[in-house]
Amino acid sequence: MNGNQAAVIEAESLVRAFGDRRAVDGVSLRVHSGETLALFGPNGAGKTTLLRLLGGLLKPEGGSARVGGEKVPGGADVRRQVGLISHRTLLYDALTARENVEFFARLYRVASPREAAARALERMKIADRSETPVRALSRGMKQRVSVARATVHSPTVILADEPFTGLDASGARALSALLAELRESGSAVVLVTHNIEEGLSLATHAAIMHRGRLVRTDERKSFDAGDYASSYRELVTAGE
């Protein structure tokens, strides 16, 4: 992907096993500034493990990963560049939406954390519930707060694992707009999703992961979305 430029996210022959099973088995990829890689694959393909490796939450057993040129898992500087969105909310239920986002803004040393938290919540169209404890919010609203939490520090790398989980149409639009905005501002995005149409609409590149390996990687403009969806289904069915 974009060969001349230095990649923001770089993985080289990454390996991670749980017991006998290799969840990630020799994955290499590069994502540059301003690119979005949509990563598809069936359950258990290793997508979440790959994202956790890139986010520095897991140590690779083989190969290496770099974010912004620095090895992961790494120190504070590399972690500061990453925004992690998960299918779990990563929030504290007893705190309000604002308190959650502001807490993380402070951890990331964002200037004026309260204002930054308000802006992040506004961007996800959840500002009117900012003083509501997270436990009182619906799943979709929690996910909006979770996205605000992950992006409050304007990360240059977004690792999004099923970020559309629980979002209604308005939430999904807000998230799509945010991901597009971040990409246009130069962030590199890895987006894991089961929804091919949604993923392809945001992607500059697409990859399919199966049994821990990247089995196909394409530039988005090189294929038709409909053909891609059917070949994905064929690939996954054949591999079962």
Partner 1 sequence: MNNFLGDALLIARKDLAIEFRTRSAFLSVLVFALLGIVIFYFAWDSTAVSAADLAPGVLWVIFTFSGLLGLHRSFGVEQEEGAIDGLLASPVSREAIFLGKAGANLIFVLAVQAIAIPAVSLFYNLPLGGIALPLSAIAILAAIGLVAVGTLFSSMAANTRLSELLLPMLSLPFFVPIVIPAAQATAKLLSGRPVGEAMSWLRLLLAFDLVFVAACMLAYPFTLEE
Least distance CB 62 / partner 1 (angstroms):
16
Decide whether 1 or 171 has the Cβ nearer to partner 1. 171
3-state secondary structure 126-155: CHHHCCCEHHHCCHHHHHHHHHHHHHCCCC
Least distance CB 92 / partner 1 (angstroms):
6
Instruction: Determine, following the binding rule CB under 8 A, whether residue 60 of this chain makes contact with partner 1.
Output: no
Q: Which listed residue (15, 95, 215, 235) binds partner 1 by CB under 8 A? A: 95
Question: Contact 162/198 with Cβ under 8 angstroms?
Answer: no
Least distance CB 146 / partner 1 (angstroms):
9
Instruction: Determine, following the binding rule CB under 8 A, whether residue 106 of this chain makes contact with partner 1.
Output: yes
Sequence-distant (6+) residues with CB within 8 A of 162 are 86, 87, 192, 193, 194
Decide whether 61 or 234 has the Cβ nearer to partner 1. 61
Least distance CB 18 / partner 1 (angstroms):
9
How far is the C-alpha of 47 from the C-alpha of 45, rounded, in Å? Answer: 6
Instruction: Determine, following the binding rule CB under 8 A, whether residue 166 of this chain makes contact with partner 1.
Output: no
Instruction: Determine, following the binding rule CB under 8 A, whether residue 82 of this chain makes contact with partner 1.
Output: yes
Q: Which listed residue (6, 21, 71, 92) binds partner 1 by CB under 8 A? A: 92
**Residue 163 Rama label (left phi>0; alpha psi -120 to 50; beta):** alpha
Decide whether 39 or 91 has the Cβ nearer to partner 1. 91
Q: Pairing relation of β-strands 36-40 and 205-210? A: parallel
Tell me the per-residue interface mask from 26 to 55 with partner 1, x by CB under 8 A, - otherwise.
Answer: -----------------------------x
Helix (H, G, I), strand (E, B) or coil at 177: helix
Tell me the per-residue interface mask from 116 to 145 with partner 1, x by CB under 8 A, - otherwise.
Answer: -----------------x--------x---
List the one residue out of 94, 97, 86 whose CA is nearest residue 145: 97
Residue carrying the six token digits 């974009």: 2
Instruction: Determine, following the binding rule CB under 8 A, whether residue 108 of this chain makes contact with partner 1.
Output: yes
Instruction: Determine, following the binding rule CB under 8 A, whether residue 223 of this chain makes contact with partner 1.
Output: no
Cβ atoms within 10 Å, residue 160: 27
Across the chain, the runs of DSSP E, i.e. the strands, are 9-18, 21-31, 36-40, 62-67, 70-72, 82-85, 157-161, 188-192, 205-210, 213-219
The continuous run of DSSP H or E covering 103 comes out as helix 97-107
Least distance CB 118 / partner 1 (angstroms):
19
Instruction: Return residues touching partner 1 (CB under 8 A).
Output: 55-59, 75-77, 79-80, 82, 84, 86, 88-95, 99, 103-104, 106-109, 133, 142, 149-150
